[in-house]
Amino acid sequence: MGRRWMKERKRDTYYLRAKREDYRSRAAYKLLQLQDKFHFMFEGMRCVDLGAAPGGWLQVELEIAGQKGRVIGVDVTTIRDLDGAILVKGDVTDSRTIDAIRQELNGNADVVLSDMAPNISGNYDLDHERSADLVLTAFSVAGQLLEQGGHFVAKLFEGRRSREIREAVSGSFRNVSVSKPAASRKQSSETYIIGMDFRG
C-alpha cells in the first residue's frame, strides 16, 4: 500500500506542481479553483483558516489578502512559521482558542475556511460521520466570528448527512453551493460546501 501510494504521488500533477511552485501542499490548488469559481476571498480580507496545517491554504490566502489583509491559521498541531500569517495553536472546540482568534482578529472575520478532515479509518460511513461533525464545528466557529455578509467554506465527505449540513448552512447564508474542485482526487468523496453572504 505504501509503495503504491508513493508511486501515485510521483505521478500526481498537483503534487508535482506544488513542489515546483513552492506550495506546502497540493490542497492549495483546491482553494485556488474554488476561489476562481465563487470569489469568496479578496484583497484586505480578515481570514480565519481552521485546520490550517501544513499551510498550503494559508499561502493562497496571503497572496490574495495582500499586506492590508489579516490571515490567521489555526490547528491543533504546530504550523511551520509563514511570513505574514498569524498562527494559533489550539482546538477550535475550546473557548480559549476562540478567544485567542478573536484577539488576533481585532474585529470580525470576512471569511472562515476549513479544510479539516478526520483521520481516515477506511470505514466510509464512520469517516463521513466524523467529517460531518467537523463541518458543524467549523460552522459554529464561523457563526461566532463572521462579519455580516461574510463567507464560509468547509470540506465535507459526501454521505447521508450531507443534506442536513447543507440545510444548516442555508439557515445562516443567503447562497449555499457544494462543489468538488478538479484538484480533488476522483476517487475521493470530498466536496466543499460554500456559504456566501452571512446573515449575521
Residue 200 has pLDDT above 60, yes or no: yes
Q: What is the DSSP string of 131-169?
A: HHHHHHHHHHHHHHHEEEEEEEEEEEE-STTHHHHHHHH
> What is the pLDDT at residue 28?
96
Question: How far is the first Cα of the chain from the last one, in angstroms, to the nearest whole number?
Answer: 47
Among this protein's residues, is 155 annotated catalytic?
A: yes
Q: Under DSSP, is residue 11 helix (H, G, I), strand (E, B) or coil?
A: helix
Residue 4: pLDDT band (50, 70, 90) is: very low
Would you tell me how many other CB atoms lie within 10 Å of the CB of residue 109? 25
| CA–CA separation, 184 and 67 (whole Å) | 30
Q: What angle do CA 96, 58, 22 make, to 5 degrees?
A: 145
Looking at the predicted structure, is the pLDDT value of residue 5 above 50? no
- Mean pLDDT of all residues in 125-142: 93
pLDDT average, residue stretch 65-71 = 97
- The per-residue b/e assignment along 49-73, b for 16 or more CB within 10 angstroms, e otherwise, is bbbbbbbbbbbbbbebbeeebbbbb
Distances (CA, A) of 153 to 8, 78, 107, 161: 28, 22, 20, 17
pTM recorded for the entire structure:
0.91
**Confidence at residue 9, expressed as pLDDT on a 0 to 100 scale:** 52
Residues annotated in a binding site: 55, 57, 75, 91, 115
| Residue set of the binding site for S-adenosyl-L-methionine | 55, 57, 75, 91, 115
Please state which architecture CATH assigns to domain 25-198.
3-Layer(aba) Sandwich (3.40)
Q: Which of 119-123, 132-136, 137-141 has the weakest average pLDDT?
A: 119-123
- Average pLDDT of span 138-142: 98
- Residue boundaries of the structural domains of the chain: 25-198
Q: Of 10, 19, 30, 155, which is the active-site residue?
A: 155
Residue 39: DSSP 8-state: -
Counting Cα atoms < 13 Å in the Cβ hemisphere of 180 gives 11
